[in-house]
Amino acid sequence: MLFSYSGSANQIQGKLAEFMGVNDEDYPSLRILKPADMKKFVCETPAKELTIEKFGAFIAGVKDGSIKPHLKSAAVPESQGNVVVIVGTEYDKIVKDATKDVLVKFYAPWCGHCKKLAPIWDELGEAYKDRDDIVIAKFDATANEADGVEIRGYPTLKWFPKGNKEGEDYGGERHLESFKKFIDENTEKKAETKQEEL
């Protein structure tokens, strides 16, 4: 275990704080980062109440798995539009819903390709707004985290059909008609049409 002290006085420290999910109002805060899988852990004991024993209990809890990783999450939106905004705390509830096919755009607000895709994504949400079994969603991966989700580039598009909540990468063209064709070919609507043709 390597111990380190950091604030947010310069750009490097600020990036570390952002990565760890530490805001100015959180200081002082005790955190652990496991580099192997980049999981982050938060000590729930207020800093002024920390003792050597509580320090040790926190470390032991992280090592034995009794303390779960801390995942960043933005606030849950008060209302949703045609494109569902997923935050960290709501990820499993929306993406893992076995009654819905879910197409998720994992994005970063500063990403140029993400900005270019945004109006198309809004049109896609509009196109499927009347389908209760299809969700067009977006997940700001700079402000939110979900267990098992590792995004290496932006935007990353993933399809979570009813029968595979592990998800699969969408690798097709990024045009409205391409998205619609993909969804129609991979949902029950298409399956029902094929059945009728038989």
Whether 74 is covered by a domain: the verdict is no
Q: Are residues 106 and 164 in the same domain?
A: yes
Q: Residue 156 belongs to a domain with what CATH number?
A: 3.40.30.10
Whether 60 is covered by a domain: the verdict is yes
Query: Which residues form the domain of 93?
Result: 84-197
141, two tokens = 């991966």
Instruction: Give me the DSSP letters along 85-126.
Output: EE-GGGHHHHHT-TT-EEEEEEE-TT-HHHHHHHHHHHHHHH
Q: Are residues 104 and 157 in the same domain?
A: yes
* Strand boundaries in the chain, DSSP class E: 31-34, 39-42, 84-86, 101-107, 134-140, 156-160, 168-169
pLDDT at 189: 55
162, two tokens = 């009813």
Question: Alpha carbon 160 to chain centroid distance?
Answer: 13
Segment 16-54, tens digit of pLDDT: 888 887 888 888 999 999 888 788 899 999 989 999 999
Segment 123-141, tens digit of pLDDT: 999 999 999 999 999 999 9
Q: Are residues 112 and 144 in the same domain?
A: yes
Supply the mean pLDDT for the chain. 90
Q: Are residues 54 and 92 in the same domain?
A: no
Number of domains into which the chain is organized? 2
Whether 44 is covered by a domain: the verdict is yes
Q: Are residues 168 and 99 in the same domain?
A: yes
Whether 53 is covered by a domain: the verdict is yes
